Amino acid sequence: MIELLRTNDAVIISFVESLMRDAGIRCFVADSNMSILDGSVGILPRRVMIDGERADEARRILTDAGIANEMR
């Protein structure tokens, strides 16, 4: 798996998960439980991980959705 994006924004993470699910691309949100360490303030970013074989397609989907600036 490779990192598609890293952000603190829960709305963007949810949106990306939805886009990937609709496209049939498996994704995993890493570091989602790290908020326990930062006191639930949201300062530690979470990473959206995807299969490397579908990275180009996933990046194109995010670009089409207007959130390309969030990608790594």
60 token code pair: 């194109």
pLDDT, residue 8, reads 87
Q: Is the pLDDT of residue 70 over 90?
A: no
Domains contained in the chain, CATH given = 2-70 (3.30.70.790)
Instruction: Give this prediction's pTM.
Output: 0.84
**Other beta carbons less than 10 A from residue 33's beta carbon:** 10
Q: Give counts: helices (H), strands (E), the chain.
A: 2, 3
pLDDT tens-digit map of 5-56: 999 888 999 999 999 999 999 999 998 776 656 555 667 889 999 999 999 9
pLDDT at residue number 37: 60
